[in-house]
Amino acid sequence: MKKYWSLIVIVTVIVATLATHYIQVASASNNNYRVTFEKITGDERYVNNLAIEGNIQRASNYHYSPFLITNGEMKAQRYSFYERPTSLMYKQMIDEHKSFMRGKVLDANRFYEDEEQLIYVSVPENVWELAVGDNLTYKVDILNKTDDSVQSFTVESILKSPANWIILQHIEILGNDLKLVMNHASEMSNEEVHLTTIDLKSKQVTSDTIIEKIHSDEAIRTGINFYYEYNNLASEKYLVYGISEYDANLNQYKVLSQRFKVLNLETNEVQAFDVPKEMLADESRMVVRDHQFIRAGINDGKIIVNRYNLGHKEWGEPFTLDAPYEVLPLALFNMQWTNDKLYISAQAAEGQLLFIIDAESGETLYSGIIKPVSEQHNFELAISQVYEELD
């Protein structure tokens, strides 16, 4: 009888969970969320044609619901238990290349795109099922944008990695070379960064190199994080990654040390990259694009932005984003580099701050705050993506 009671309890919990989910989704979809943009400084034309994606966080029940703001109007997006709304970036790719995009995992790190081609790389999913000594197989799909022809082929790795899972971090094209930067991790607390080069003419792996290797133990956990602009599918000469050590004996991991390295994808060289300790002490976001390493941090209620030229190996002058509001801690803090602008959003008690910055000069083109129109809807906005010149 006990096993039947266990089954009844499990089924009841599942049904209750699903029912609660669908009630919350219906509630989020039916709620008329409204926001207003209040300019602080700058030119409002920089926000007129933006599309903004993110999540609504309702303080009453900690429920998250996707939202989309277009032309200043906000809508909570409907979604099912099994499927979240498709991001605008992928919707455009699907609309333009429906046949090619069919069956693709919508992960920006698996794509490369320029004016002539769109490339997708599949990495092994169930690596742990491979026998010791088996090679890893990668599938490459290349769409020629001129004539819509598709070329597909598979290649096998040179190294026989004992990984349990693989995370593709970046795809780069240099002449006839397709380069893959990947994390290989195992259940033995080992992690490696692989740089794999595929010759597009011969369709063979020409080099497979481990450029970084770390190990964790019971006392210290070590992890590797890459810093890049996630929605940038184009070429990028430099990648920056950080190696962090944590005290594993604490309930909340305490960072013991952090060190950074730069990978030059043209030369395959890896060099140490010094980030001042005072920058690491603050709550921050970091991205890399167009030879620039950008770091934005919150310090004493203000946002401070630092820029480092990876080619020239020098720091530029930092600048502070001014607003008549105190910036709250990290939770809803986001930075994105799109085209030649930085989009930085952060939470204030009064709403969500939005700064649009000229990435080259550091000039603030626009600053404003997005506020809920009605106090009866107690919610906060977590901005994840900003798109320019929405058609």
> What is the per-residue pLDDT across 363-382, written as a single tens digit (0 to 9) for each?
999 999 988 776 556 677 88
Q: What pLDDT does 59 receive?
A: 58
pTM: 0.84
Q: What pLDDT does 377 receive?
A: 60
The first and second tokens of residue 41, run together, are 């400084």
pLDDT(13) > 70: no
Whether the CA torsion 108, 109, 113, 118 is positive or negative: it is negative
Cα–Cα dist 354/301, whole Å:
15
Q: What pLDDT does 83 receive?
A: 53
Q: CB 212: neighbour CB atoms within 10 A?
A: 16
Question: Which band of pLDDT confidence, cut at 50, 70 and 90, is reported for residue 350?
Answer: confident
Q: Is 143 exposed, middle or buried (0-12, 13-18, 19+ CB in 10 A)?
A: buried
Q: What pLDDT does 139 receive?
A: 96
Whether the CA torsion 266, 269, 274, 279 is positive or negative: it is positive
Radius of gyration over alpha carbons of the chain, in Å?
A: 23
C-alpha torsion angle, residues 48, 54, 55, 56 (rounded to 10): -10
pLDDT(307) > 80: yes
Q: What pLDDT does 206 receive?
A: 95
Between 204 and 162, the higher pLDDT residue:
204
pLDDT tens string 223-235: 899 998 888 898 9
pLDDT(205) > 90: yes
Residue 117, SS3 per DSSP: strand
pLDDT(35) > 70: yes
Q: At CB < 8 A and 24+ separation, what contacts does 99-107 make?
A: 99/150, 100/141, 100/143, 100/150, 107/168
pLDDT (mean) for 187-200: 89
Cα–Cα dist 242/262, whole Å:
9
Termini Cα distance of the chain? 62
pLDDT tens string 234-268: 899 999 999 988 887 776 667 788 899 999 999 99
Phi and psi at residue 126, to the nearest 5°: -105, 65
Q: What pLDDT does 115 receive?
A: 93
Residue with tokens 């699903």: 18
Closest Cα to residue 305, out of 326, 274, 282, 324?
282
pLDDT(10) > 50: no
Q: What pLDDT does 323 receive?
A: 86
Q: CB 66: neighbour CB atoms within 10 A?
A: 18
CA-to-CA dists, residue 26 to 65, 110, 347, 389, angstroms: 10, 33, 26, 31
Q: What pLDDT does 228 receive?
A: 86
Q: What pLDDT does 29 receive?
A: 42
Q: What pLDDT does 296 receive?
A: 92
Question: Which band of pLDDT confidence, cut at 50, 70 and 90, is reported for residue 300?
Answer: confident
pLDDT (mean) for 327-334: 79
Q: What pLDDT does 11 receive?
A: 43
Closest Cα to residue 96, out of 289, 233, 237?
233
pLDDT (mean) for 201-214: 94
pLDDT(30) > 90: no
Cα–Cα dist 140/126, whole Å:
18
Residue with tokens 């009888």: 1
Q: What rounded mean pLDDT belongs to the chain?
A: 82
Question: Which band of pLDDT confidence, cut at 50, 70 and 90, is reported for residue 158?
Answer: confident
Residue with tokens 């609309």: 95
pLDDT tens string 69-104: 876 677 766 555 445 567 888 888 999 999 999 999
C-alpha torsion angle, residues 251, 274, 331, 363 (rounded to 10): 170
Between 217 and 23, the higher pLDDT residue:
217
Question: Which band of pLDDT confidence, cut at 50, 70 and 90, is reported for residue 287?
Answer: very high
Q: What pLDDT does 270 receive?
A: 96
Residue 94, SS3 per DSSP: helix
Phi and psi at residue 386, to the nearest 5°: -125, 130
Q: What pLDDT does 248 receive?
A: 77
Question: Which band of pLDDT confidence, cut at 50, 70 and 90, is reported for residue 14?
Answer: very low
DSSP-assigned beta bridge partners for residue 67: 54, 76
Residue 99, SS3 per DSSP: helix
